[in-house]
Structure 1
Amino acid sequence: MNAQNVASILLYMAVLFHLLGMSGWVPAKLSSPIQLATLGLMLTSLFVLRKKKRKTRRRPRKPPAEVAVMLERAGEGEGQS
C-alpha cells in the first residue's frame, strides 16, 4: 500500500471522527478525545505524505562516443608533427 492510499484512509477516518463529534451522539466528556483523535489522524496523514529528501551524488558523466573519436584524432595529429 503506497503512502497516498494510507493518507487518504487516515483522512477519511479523521472526517468520520469529526462528523461523529459534531453530531451530538457522543457524551460531552468524549468530545475532547474525539477532537484529539481527529487532529492526530490528520497529522499522521501529513507525516505519511512527507517525502524524505535524499542527497544525490553526482556521478561523472561519460563523454559521448564522438568526443572520444575527436580526442583520438587530435592525439594522432600531434604525433605526426
Structure 2
Amino acid sequence: MKTVYTSYEEIDKELEIRKLEREISFRKLSKNADDISQFFTPANFIKGGLLTLGSNLSHSKEIKTFVLSTLMNFMINKFIKRK
C-alpha cells in the first residue's frame, strides 16, 4: 500500500525518520562486526583451546592416565640420567 503525503513537511519528516533508522542499523552492524573481530583474536582462540583441553582432561580418565604415565616416565628417566 502506498503512502500518500499531503505536504512536503510530511515527506521531510519521513525521510528524517528513515535516515535515523538507517544510522541506527549501521551502528548496530558496526558494533556486531567489532564484537566478532574481538571474538576471533589469537588470544581468544588459545584461551578457548586451553579451556576445552582442560575440560577434556578433567573428564577423561584415559587422558589423565596417559599424562600421568608420561610425566612419571619423564621423571624416572631424568632421575636415572642424573646419577
TM-score by length of 2: 0.45
More helix as a share of residues: 2
Q: Which has the higher contact order (CA 8 A, sep 6+)?
A: 1
